[in-house]
Structure 1
Amino acid sequence: MGGWAIAVHGGAGVDPNLPTDRQEQAKQLLTRVLNLGIAALCSSVSAVDVVELVVRELESDPLFNSGRGSALTENGTVEMEASIMDGVGRRCGAVSGLTTVKNPVSLARLVMDKSPHSYLAFSGAQKFAKEMGVEMVENEYFVTQDNVEMLKIAKEADSIVFDYRIPRAGYETCGTGVQSPIQMNGLPISIYAPETVGCVVVDSQGRCAAATSTGGLLNKRAGRIGDSPLIGAGTYACELCAVSCTGEGEAIIRSTLAREVGAVMEYKGLGLQDAVNFVIKERLDEGKAGLIAVSKTGEVAYGFNCVGMFRGCATQNGFMEVGIWD
């Protein structure tokens, strides 16, 4: 096997009662960004450029929990984070605590390319963004009415809850942009996880890259940092593979999940899908998560141990899949 391959995700841990119209919206968005990535790869765009391009597009759509549509903190604001990694030379960039940067993944790319550092956060990251001239918007741009409603419910329940929009009886417009009443499913943190976005790519030159972006947990404590910007936890790329994770951030951090895929390929000699299966089964302990991965030889793989993961993947030999459930 060889040639390019691409995978995208919109988060793991999907409510089994998610309305079919919302499922279709998610599939349409995943298909659109997948086709965007495929077109770029067919035009010989490099892997690292493709993952940035695709994640930017996901950040700009309010459907998933990143960029516009990010989950709200306890203060009713957004604190976004993202990372990007180029398997060539294992270069990386990450950002956390962003409140006005329109596309966090592109600031992470600038940290990688235009700074001597790998990770910038909060006021330092915002200052760097201004110096770099990236597009900035008011915090309100990222806030959706759905998330305002969910934060209110979360506060009333005194709980960190997840990004599942379930319409109340008689309302069929949830997730379509029409403001309608919603209710939370009330599932605990140990069962479901937020809808982070990510992309992994291997280009026709065999170069691997990964990028991940998120708004984090709804009603999270201000200053909380999840797995998405942590290299080796939520994002990893090397000569062998590229990985982007999603799910219960604290469990992904404990298990250094993304790096584990590369490690078992390197040290145990496992193929890509076997490596993914191994780390999902053996490394997550009590955690719930999922991941997407590609290898330098053009393979694509994914795995999750929760109810569903928004995902799509394609390879140069014509394979393409977009799905949610197992």
Structure 2
Amino acid sequence: MGGWAIAVHGGAGVDPNLPQERQEEAKQLLTRCLNLGTSALRSSLPAIDVVELVVRELETDPLFNSGRGSALTAKGTVEMEASIMDGPRRRCGAVSGLTTVKNPVSLARLVMEKSPHSYLAFSGAEEFAMQQGVEVVDNEYFITEENMGMLKLAKEANTIVFDYRIPALGLETCSAGAGAVENALQMNGLPISIYAPETVGCVVVDGQGRCAAATSTGGLMNKMSGRIGDSPLIGAGTYACDICAVSCTGEGEAIIRATLARDVAAVMEYKGLELQDAVDYVIKERLDEGKAGMIAVSRNGEVAYGFNTTGMFRGCATEDGFMEVGIWE
């Protein structure tokens, strides 16, 4: 193949009854992000710049769970996290526990480029943001009425909610009665109600064969304060090297246990698999009983995705003119 390629995602695990209007809104946002990314790639912008640009766009729109529109903690606040990785030298930056930074992915890049560290969290990350002069807003900026309503329902059901945009009836149905608990999905052995996280991510290979990846999320609705998921963890939710770039989404605890993103590069390097074969292998063999999805690009201009959930919000485009946006299998 060859040439540049880009892929974006808005989360794996989608409610089969998601209203058609919501599906179209998601597709329109993914298409807008692909157009933004392809325009930048045609202008010879490096891969690392493109992934930041696209994820910033996703963070600014409240449709998915990152930046504005992030899921709420049990305390009713927002704690965001993000990471970014530049493949050529495997430079990386990550942040967690952000409450005021408008675009977490950009702060993650500043950690990579302007600090001696790879990962800053909570008050230290906020202090670094102030030092770097990034745009900050009140925590209320990130909170939507829809999220407040879903947090209330989650608290009433005493559960973590994965797809916090599923209508109230869906939540009540999934959490009502002993049978629902017995049949529920589990996280670290504990029952959870509905599976459909909406983390966002972008992977790019530019015309020079340079790969980059970025991932951003608000985490889980009604999560414990201080919980850190896979999105900011290099090798778990995000990874890029000279071979490929990967961004993951789904059950964070399972992705962390499997070091899912790094494993794609590993099986390509050590088993000699092609990109799509590597993604399929990792999704099938490394998740145990976990649920997740991923997008990936290779230095050869290949693009791939995989998931073992009911669906994944995703889109991709390549230099030869191919573009696709989808949700279901």
- Report 1:284-303 matches (<5 A): 284-303=287-306
Alignment partner, residue 174 of structure 1: none
Rounded to whole Å, the distance in 2 between the matches of 1:214 and 1:166 is 18
3-state SS of the aligned residue for 1:148? helix
User: Alignment length, in residue pairs?
Assistant: 314
3-state SS of the aligned residue for 2:11? strand
Rounded to whole Å, the distance in 1 between the matches of 2:250 and 2:173 is 17
Rounded to whole Å, the distance in 1 between the matches of 2:269 and 2:173 is 41
Evaluate the alpha carbon distance shift between residue 120 and residue 144 of structure 1 in structure 2; reply closer, same or farther with a 3 A threshold: same
- On the 8 A contact 1:165/1:183 being kept in 2, the answer is no
Q: What residue identity is the alignment partner of 1:133?
A: G
Rounded to whole Å, the distance in 2 between the matches of 1:135 and 1:154 is 31
3-state SS of the aligned residue for 2:277? helix
Among 274, 279, 282, the residue aligned to 2:277: 274
Q: What residue identity is the alignment partner of 1:39?
A: S
Alignment partner, residue 42 of structure 1: 42
Report deviation, 1:184: 5.7
Q: What residue identity is the alignment partner of 2:28?
A: Q
- On the 8 A contact 1:235/1:258 being kept in 2, the answer is yes
Alignment partner, residue 120 of structure 2: 120
Alignment partner, residue 266 of structure 2: 263
Give the TM-score taking structure 1 as reference length: 0.94
Rounded to whole Å, the distance in 1 between the matches of 2:259 and 2:227 is 18
Q: What residue identity is the alignment partner of 1:311?
A: R
- On the 8 A contact 1:241/1:262 being kept in 2, the answer is yes
Rounded to whole Å, the distance in 1 between the matches of 2:67 and 2:116 is 25
Report deviation, 1:204: 0.2
Alignment partner, residue 174 of structure 2: 186
- On the 8 A contact 1:161/1:186 being kept in 2, the answer is no
Rounded to whole Å, the distance in 1 between the matches of 2:5 and 2:128 is 33
Q: What residue identity is the alignment partner of 1:287?
A: G
Report deviation, 1:319: 1.0
- On the 8 A contact 1:96/1:125 being kept in 2, the answer is yes
Across the aligned residues of Structure 1 and Structure 2, the Cα RMSD in angstroms comes to: 1.3
Counterpart check, 1:55 vs 2:55: yes
Rounded to whole Å, the distance in 2 between the matches of 1:322 and 1:240 is 24
Evaluate the alpha carbon distance shift between residue 242 and residue 185 of structure 1 in structure 2; reply closer, same or farther with a 3 A threshold: farther
3-state SS of the aligned residue for 2:89? helix
Report deviation, 1:185: 5.8
Report deviation, 1:189: 5.0
- Report 1:1-326 matches (<5 A): 1-167=1-167, 186=174, 188-190=184-186, 192-326=195-329
Give the TM-score taking structure 2 as reference length: 0.93
Rounded to whole Å, the distance in 2 between the matches of 1:71 and 1:164 is 8
Unaligned runs of 5+ in 2: 176-183, 187-193
Identity, in percent, stands at 80
Rounded to whole Å, the distance in 2 between the matches of 1:26 and 1:184 is 24
Q: What residue identity is the alignment partner of 1:138?
A: D
- On the 8 A contact 2:14/2:163 being kept in 1, the answer is no
- On the 8 A contact 2:6/2:317 being kept in 1, the answer is yes
Unaligned runs of 5+ in 1: 170-181
